[in-house]
Chain A
Amino acid sequence: MYLKRRENFMKQSVKELKVTAGEIRKDIVKMVHASASGHPGGSLSAADILSALYFNVMNIDPENVKMEERDKFVLSKGHAAPVLYSSLARRGYFSTDELLTLRKIGSFLQGHPDMKGTPGVEMSTGSLGQGFSSSIGMALSAKLDNSPSRTFVLLGDGELNEGIVWEAAMSAAHYKLDNLTAVLDYNGLQIDGPNDKVMGVSPVDRKFESFGWNVIKIDGHNFEEILKAFDSAKSTKGIPTIIIAKTIKGKGVSFMENNAGWHGKAPSDEELEIALKELGGDK
């Protein structure tokens, strides 16, 4: 039974992934609009990365959510919950109809991910830096059990301000967690403005290199590069990998792109309409 199901899922091609990411982006703006709150900017910037993970890279099974030896994803930048919820729903963990309940009373789609409520969410996150530490525990556990399970964690660049990120980075290298792949959604903006103006984070590559990580730099909106980077991370032994993905905050919606003001703001009815049109129209 189980094997058959796995065979039923075909890894999406780059062409298909582009379509999926487009649908996820539309979901994001609709969800944030419906709840009149949420974080569109950092969700849109990560849509291509999550599409690649959920529709090509990760060994998961929505029919068997707690499958042994499944790969795990942790959204350390928990405020980007809309991109995670849309990815999970479109991958089949729950109905896409649920997406519009985001942040509403009684919904299992909390403002930040809650592993107890949402099928497919592996770790509750929300306060920055914490998810990175949890991913260390997951990867350590897989090592202990000689499990092929791989752990993926998405970090924001503003998140790098948190000290716990560097505690986690140090420990991942110390314990040689080559089954851990971090992805940095490097869009350059945090709530109060550009990273390097609020709190300088660059050079991120050299920081992680000096912490003992394998560093891969890519364009976070180029699927060929994204998939190649995950492949390369998988074949790297003895050290953890971070994929520094240069992205555009608000990617796909002209008035949101590269605008820190859209970090945590909902679009109006008119803005939603424009956004959906730009994202390829809506039924």
Chain B
Amino acid sequence: MSKMIATREAYGKALVKYGKENENIVVLDADLSKSTKTAEFSTTFPERFFNMGIAEQNMLGTAAGLATSGKIPVASSFAMFAAGRAFEIVRNSICYPKLNVKICATHAGLTVGEDGASHQSIEDLAIMRSIPNLTVINPADAVSADKLLGEMISTYGPMYARFGRAAVPVIYSEDQKFEIGKSITVKEGEDITIIATGIMVNEALEAAKELEKIGLSIRVIDMHTIKPIDEEAIVKAAIETKLIVTAEEHSIIGGLGSAVAEVTAKEAPTFIQMIGVNDTFGESGKPNELLEKYGLTSENIYNTIMDSIEFDDEIEDEENGCGCSGEHSHDGGCGNGGGCGCK
């Protein structure tokens, strides 16, 4: 079992680390510093920490003002409030003048858990990626949270990153390199591509492991940057593999799935299965129960892929084969060990 760390924990620690290296970093919070994990920064660098109270709009407006004076403000709150309550400030005061503000939102997605639908931000990626000039980042684990924060700080411009509340497995080694806008192919594969983001990267890897057992070769891409999205990796996947499945802890409307579809529709029309929260609100529950109930699991990724292959199979059978990418033998078998659904 790999180590379990919440991305917000990694973010809080990394903030202190980068704060030591760069004294232009100032941190703002909206009375949630213990939850967002900016508290350690506040005690290490009290003069560079501003608690703005429960006032997310003013916090981000103030961050904009600090940025005009050459500071690198990192502002945190829950994703629901940073992206939701303060949307217009993010758009007009930060992104329109292209100011160097880093919005680090925690408690994103369903895994905020028991607080329920009012606190479960499943729209933030959609909202934030629609704003011009804004880079949108969604780290998958503790290592990527740390490394991507480092990239955010060393790259000029307005950026939004989302972190989770719940502990998630560490999937990367410390020497993994991260580049904003460049996805990571965490597992090579030839038949099907799963493009995942955030905590769903681990679920994608689990699903891929199971699918390999029945002979399918699965590519898994960690799309840690939702905007600008890595078009090259998406087009490559669309051309080289038969099916793309997207997986995100977010609404299926407007997030990663939509972003991938925007690219393929233009560059390489592809059948895409999107896994995310269907057009509905969440509810209170334990993070794992919620992920299970709303289908954000490796099992659902596995089943979705299996269903898609069977669907493919029926159509193609009437013509000349099974529709899988395997070589067909004389008796109609494809050499894929039956994993693709061919008989």
Contact = CB atoms under 8 A, between A and B. Distances in A.
Contact of B61 (A134, A141, A142, A170): A134
A123 B64 contact: yes
B244 to A, nearest CB: 37
Interface string B51-67: 01101011011111111
A227 B323 CA distance: 82
Contacts, number: 106
A116 B98 contact: yes
Contacts of B53: 167, 170-171, 174
Contact of B50 (A122, A124, A140, A168): A140
Interface stretch (B89-97, B271-279, B280-288): B89-97
A127 B88 CA distance: 8
Nearest to A169: B58
B66 A141 contact: yes
Interface stretch (B68-76, B119-127, B139-147, B259-267): B68-76
Contacts of A74: 65
B58 A164 contact: yes
B318 interface: no
A46 B68 CA distance: 24
B93 A130 contact: yes
A193 interface: no
B65 A144 contact: no
Contacts of B57: 129, 133, 163-164, 167
Interface in A131-187: 132-142, 144-145, 163-164, 167-168, 170-171, 174-175
B47 interface: yes
A219 interface: no
Interface of A is mostly: helix
B242 interface: no
B200 interface: no
A145 B26 CA distance: 12
Contacts of A145: 69
A119 interface: no
B62 A171 contact: yes
B89 A130 contact: yes
B307 to A, nearest CB: 46
B48 interface: yes
Contacts of A199: none
A126 interface: yes
Interface centre among B68, B70, B89 (most CB of A within 10 A): B68
A31 B225 CA distance: 44
A163 B73 CA distance: 23
A136 B62 contact: yes
Contact of A124 (B47, B73, B96): B96
A225 interface: no
A115 interface: yes
Contacts of A135: 65
Contacts of A167: 52-53, 55, 57-58
A115 B97 contact: yes
B48 A137 contact: no
A257 interface: no
Nearest to B26: A144
A141 B65 contact: yes
Interface string B123-159: 0000000000000000000000000000000000000
B58 A115 contact: no
B71 A134 contact: no
B61 A136 contact: yes
Closest 7 CB pairs of A and B: A137-B65, A133-B61, A167-B58, A141-B69, A167-B55, A134-B65, A137-B66
23 contacts: A74-B65, A114-B97, A115-B68, A123-B64, A125-B92, A129-B57, A130-B61, A130-B64, A130-B89, A130-B93, A132-B61, A134-B62, A134-B64, A138-B69, A141-B66, A141-B71, A144-B26, A144-B48, A168-B62, A171-B52, A171-B53, A171-B55, A174-B53
Given A127-B92, A136-B65, 20 more contacts: A116-B97, A123-B65, A123-B68, A130-B93, A133-B60, A133-B61, A133-B89, A137-B66, A138-B69, A140-B66, A141-B68, A141-B69, A141-B71, A145-B69, A164-B55, A168-B58, A168-B61, A168-B62, A170-B58, A171-B53
